[in-house]
Amino acid sequence: MVEPRRQRFDAPLALRSGASIAGYELVYETYGTLNAARSNAVLVCHALNAGHHVAGVYADRPDELGWWDNMVGPGKPLDTERFFVVGVNNLGSCVGSTGPMSTNPATGRPWGPDFPVLTVEDWVHAQARLADALGIERFAAVMGGSLGGMQALAWTTLYPQRVAHCVAVATAPKLSAQNIAFNEVARRAILTDPEFHGGRFYDHGVVPARGLQVARMIGHITYLSDDAMGEKFGRALRRHATDTVLRNDYRFTFDVEFEIESYLRYQGEKFSSYFDANTYLLITRALDYFDPALAHGGDLARALAPAQADFLVVSFTTDWRFAPARSREIVEALLANGRRVTYAEVDAPHGHDAFLLDDPQYMAAMRAWFERVHARVQDGGAAREALPSQEGAR
């Protein structure tokens, strides 16, 4: 049983774009208990369509499991009987924290397209203020998968003294041209939907559902491996309500014919019923923009040089969105800086989605890693090793 909480920040936050936001709220949840030394906190950063509800259920919605509930909880790899876990919804989101659907104090209407464009680094700075508010000077670990992994990496360079361990799963040091291309197609589908109304669809009582559906369908293709999709759906024909027998021939229409079509449409429709189009644009742009090496002439090792954490980097063999080679770039850059890095390349069939699933090898690697983090927390080592004077830094 968990409960979301809300934290207001009134000081303006300067953003990477040069703009700033006057004030904002972040919604977050916590699991487990912060120890007396405040040394057992773990921050979980979310990816595109998740939020602060990482684990557990709400009293009034017992079916709504947190998105990483298989990873986080009592006795789970990230054990909430040992760690104090924080899940936070990012700025610009549509599931609780201040975002384009929130009221712009300057106009009294929804921000919509006027919400500032955000970067991964902006999110990290906003999260750091939440850590301040919670009295967490230093996280035992910051972790995330996919876009969440990018935030975890950014934490280690923006706040090197505040991260003892970093867990970056199924992520990349920057998007490839192909990654950007998929984002761009999704954005075009939204931006050109007549019901987008330049981002002011709230005023028209509509949502650009068609654009969001197409965007989500594209996303889903990139989350699954070709093989996993083949195994799950193959070329199986969809049975319709009016069918009295299993079909083994085509209908010859453009309506749902194959199971894979039915699956994608369902995912698209579900997504468009709750996700905000302006948020989708913001988050995909933050993905595009993430490139810590850009300011260092493309040298990732130099970009990661400030990091003081120990790292666990995990990739999945069939992930073609952020392939293992992308994780290896991160590992090599960290090793070039003399960092301690554990790298797990997990042979899992599910593609990018594997980071959310229960692969035993993956779960075992996470569990073993957090055993180590826990041992360090226990003897105070995690805090001591990289931070000469914890009190002084506070």
Which one of 57-65, 72-80, 99-107, 168-176 is the stretch in contact with a copy of itself (CB under 8 A)?
168-176
Are 278 and 184 in contact, with CB atoms under 8 Å apart?
no
Q: 125 vs 220, which CB is nearer to a copy of itself? A: 220
Least distance in Å: CB of 29 to a copy of itself? Answer: 30
x-or-dash string of contact with a copy of itself, 82-121, rule CB under 8 A: ----------------------------------xx----
**By CB under 8 A, residue 188 contacts a copy of itself:** yes
CA distance linking residue 238 with residue 216, whole number of Å: 21
**By CB under 8 A, residue 170 contacts a copy of itself:** no
Q: 317 vs 342, which CB is nearer to a copy of itself? A: 317
Are 324 and 346 in contact, with CB atoms under 8 Å apart?
no
For a copy of itself, the binding residues in 128-147 under the rule CB under 8 A are none
Kind of pairing between the strands at 310-316 and 109-110: unpaired
Which one of 72-80, 206-214, 304-312, 384-392 is the stretch in contact with a copy of itself (CB under 8 A)?
206-214
Are 85 and 44 in contact, with CB atoms under 8 Å apart?
yes
φ/ψ of 137, rounded to 5, equals -75, -35
CA distance linking residue 94 with residue 197, whole number of Å: 18
Which one of 2-10, 15-23, 61-69, 78-86 is the stretch in contact with a copy of itself (CB under 8 A)?
15-23
x-or-dash string of contact with a copy of itself, 301-330, rule CB under 8 A: -------------------x----------
Are 166 and 143 in contact, with CB atoms under 8 Å apart?
yes
**By CB under 8 A, residue 299 contacts a copy of itself:** no
φ/ψ of 12, rounded to 5, equals -60, 145
From the list 114, 288, 299, 329, which residue makes contact with a copy of itself (rule: CB under 8 A)? 288
**By CB under 8 A, residue 184 contacts a copy of itself:** yes
From the list 34, 101, 128, 221, which residue makes contact with a copy of itself (rule: CB under 8 A)? 221
Least distance in Å: CB of 181 to a copy of itself? Answer: 5
Q: Provide the 3-class DSSP secondary structure of residue 20.
A: strand
Q: Provide the 3-class DSSP secondary structure of residue 318.
A: coil
- Tokens for 327, please give them: 């994780």
Where do runs of H (alpha helix) occur along the chain? Answer: 120-134, 147-158, 177-191, 209-223, 226-232, 259-272, 277-289, 300-304, 324-336, 360-378, 381-386, 390-393
User: By CB under 8 A, how many residues form the interface with a copy of itself?
Assistant: 57
From the list 29, 79, 121, 291, which residue makes contact with a copy of itself (rule: CB under 8 A)? 291
Least distance in Å: CB of 186 to a copy of itself? Answer: 9
Q: Tell me which residues are annotated as active site.
A: 146, 319, 352
Q: 257 vs 359, which CB is nearer to a copy of itself? A: 257
- CA angle 368/394/385 to nearest 5° reads 40
CA distances, 140 to each of 25, 165, 167, 385 (Å): 24, 6, 11, 12
CA distance linking residue 238 with residue 263, whole number of Å: 10
From the list 253, 379, 388, 392, which residue makes contact with a copy of itself (rule: CB under 8 A)? 253
Look at residues 86, 88, 83, 87 and name the one whose alpha carbon lies nearest to residue 39: 83
Residues in contact with a copy of itself by the rule CB under 8 A: 16-19, 116-117, 174-178, 180-182, 184-185, 187-189, 191-194, 210, 213-214, 217-218, 220-221, 224, 226, 229-230, 232-235, 248, 250, 252-254, 257-258, 260-261, 264-265, 268, 281, 285, 288-289, 291, 294, 320
